[in-house]
């Protein structure tokens, strides 16, 4: 993603509950090789065509 060049991976997680996103971040943070997790609002992504849906 050109707007986030420092990220190796971006995961799109959809759900009705914001708590689901928080739980996913908590699970990912517990994995020792993952250094950073962050929530990126979908409207902040200008290059959505880079995603595989």
Q: Is 2 exposed, middle or buried (0-12, 13-18, 19+ CB in 10 A)?
A: exposed
Residue 49 pLDDT > 80, yes or no? no
Q: Work out how many domains the chain is built from and give that number.
A: 1
| Whole-number pLDDT of residue 53 | 62
Place of tokens 């928080």: 22
CA distance linking residue 23 with residue 43, whole number of Å: 21
Q: Summarize pLDDT for 9-42 with one digit per residue, the tens.
A: 888 777 766 667 788 889 999 999 998 888 888 7
Instruction: Give residue 48's pLDDT band: very low, low, confident or very high (50, 70, 90).
Output: confident
**Best CA proximity match to 40, nearest among 2, 13, 8:** 13
CA distance linking residue 8 with residue 22, whole number of Å: 20
| Alpha-helix runs per DSSP H in the chain | 18-29
* Domain interval for residue 10: 1-53
């Amino acid at each position: 993603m050109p707007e986030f060049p420092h990220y190796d991976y971006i995961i799109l997680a959809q759900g009705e509950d914001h708590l689901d996103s928080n739980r996913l971040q908590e699970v990912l943070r517990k994995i020792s090789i993952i250094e950073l997790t962050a929530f990126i609002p979908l409207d902040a992504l200008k290059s959505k065509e880079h995603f595989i849906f």
